[in-house]
């Protein structure tokens, strides 16, 4: 006959070394034997001796505790209960401490580094000055004392890529830039139709003076001149007045007075016309570069801590190196068939430039764009 012996508000539960629940009753330990699904009745048996047939019962993990017909055939061990509880508390503290530490690292893996509050306050640890391949990754830093500090990231091989290409492509973005800088400005090359970012520039503003410093530094680093390689979007990125204020700024105003013709436009035609670019199978727009920036924004959250930003562009650098290896080993990326067909149609019309009227030439190009 089962006897009701306990009506405490809660059960006295400890955990075993394996994390299993142990019920303490009259200083005896009991481990869970089975649970009746229909009634949720928990059957506990002695945890001290395998031969002991003593059992107690509960409904769920709630009091009261009822004892079975058989009682323990050995003395209780009160000290064991206190030792086990002390061990449980110690494990809980250590577990919580470890969990908190892990969560802190997961939440902010850069907590160990001092967060700079200004550009002059930035002092990069050595690991952020090297690429994933342990190459030197900072090619220029104007220093803490420069109120308009700029930092250029890249590798020696990136500079060699720039030196070997006559055309550079540039673009900027503000969303992924660390909060102590104003914008990220990047310089790219196209190899076999694939965009390869070579220099990542952290800039304090978007003034002409700052862009000039970037290009002068880049030229100095690669001993190269690009006086005839700057096209459309590069000037648009200079932060000056919009390129197209009115028609005269890019075609040239009709000369007044005697004579015929037009005045020289603000930007010479050679800088922005795409005729030669089509003949030489070069891209007509910066869409490729802008697409890369859009993808980068999906990887880097808005206004990141500078350490997180550098880690992300180190990964971008590693990805670029892998793509470059594929390109030089003839693993060429496939272009969409529709783009290949469009370029082919444009090239065919361009070949007729000197054979048909200008108005017909322009109309044919417009029809390709519309259809």
What CA–CA distance (Å, rounded) separates 357 from 57? 101
At 240 the pLDDT is 39
Phi, psi for 110 (deg, rounded to 5): -110, 20
Rg (alpha carbons) of the chain, rounded to whole number: 36
CATH of 3-107, one of 1.10.40.50, 2.30.30.40, 2.20.25.240, 3.30.230.10: 2.20.25.240
- Report which of 30, 25, 28 is spatially closest to residue 5, judged by C-alpha positions: 25
* 47 neighbors 30 (Cβ within 8 angstroms): yes
Low-confidence stretches of the chain (pLDDT < 70) are 1-10, 81, 88-108, 223-263, 265-295, 297-299, 301-303, 330-336, 339-340, 369-371
Output the CA torsion sign for 269, 274, 279, 280.
positive
Task: Dump the DSSP string for 271-336.
Answer: HH--HHHHHTT--SSSHHHHHHHHHHHHHS-SS--HHHHHHHHHHHHHHHHHHHHHHHTT-PPPPP
Kindly state the tokens that stand for 75.
């003395």
How many CB atoms are closer than 10 A to CB 149?
19
β-bridge mates for residue 187, sequence order: 170, 199
**Is-above-0.85 flag for pTM?**
no
Q: Cα(203)–Cα(150) distance, rounded to whole angstroms?
A: 5
Residues 322-349: tens digit of each pLDDT: 888 888 776 666 666 776 677 777 777 7
User: 163-177 burial, b if ≥16 CB within 10 A, otherwise e?
Assistant: eebebbbbbbbeebb
């Amino acid at each position: 006959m089962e006897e009701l012996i306990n009506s405490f508000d809660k059960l006295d539960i400890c955990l075993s070394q394996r994390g299993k629940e142990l019920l303490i009753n009259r200083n005896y330990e009991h481990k869970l034997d089975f649970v009746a699904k229909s009634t949720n009745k928990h059957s506990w048996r002695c945890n001290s001796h395998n031969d002991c047939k003593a059992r107690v019962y509960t409904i769920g993990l709630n009091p009261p505790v009822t004892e079975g017909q058989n009682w323990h055939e050995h003395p209780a061990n009160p000290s064991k209960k206190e030792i086990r509880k002390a061990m449980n508390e110690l494990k809980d503290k250590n577990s919580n401490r470890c969990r908190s530490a892990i969560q802190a690292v997961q939440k902010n893996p850069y907590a160990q580094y001092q967060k700079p509050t200004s550009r002059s306050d930035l002092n990069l640890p050595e690991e952020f000055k090297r690429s994933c391949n342990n190459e030197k990754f900072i090619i220029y830093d104007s220093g803490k004392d420069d109120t308009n500090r700029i930092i250029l990231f890249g590798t020696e091989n990136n500079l060699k890529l720039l030196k070997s290409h006559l055309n550079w492509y540039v673009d900027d973005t503000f969303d992924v830039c660390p909060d102590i800088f104003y914008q990220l400005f990047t310089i790219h090359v196209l190899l076999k139709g694939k965009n390869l970012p070579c220099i990542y520039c952290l800039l304090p503003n978007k003034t002409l003076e700052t862009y000039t410093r970037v290009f002068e530094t880049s030229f100095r680093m690669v001993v190269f001149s690009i006086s005839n390689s700057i096209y459309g979007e590069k000037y648009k990125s200079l932060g000056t007045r919009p390129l197209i204020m009115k028609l005269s700024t890019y075609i040239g105003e009709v000369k007044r007075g005697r004579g015929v013709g037009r005045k020289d436009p603000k930007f010479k035609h050679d800088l922005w016309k795409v005729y030669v670019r089509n003949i030489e199978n070069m891209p007509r727009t910066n869409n490729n570069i802008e697409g890369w920036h859009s993808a980068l924004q999906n990887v880097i959250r808005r206004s990141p801590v500078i350490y997180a930003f550098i880690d992300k562009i180190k990964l971008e650098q590693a990805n670029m190196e892998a793509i470059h290896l594929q390109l030089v080993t003839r693993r060429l990326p496939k272009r969409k068939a529709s783009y290949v067909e469009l370029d082919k149609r444009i090239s065919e019309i361009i070949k007729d430039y000197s054979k048909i009227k200008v108005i017909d030439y322009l109309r044919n190009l417009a029809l390709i764009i519309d259809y």
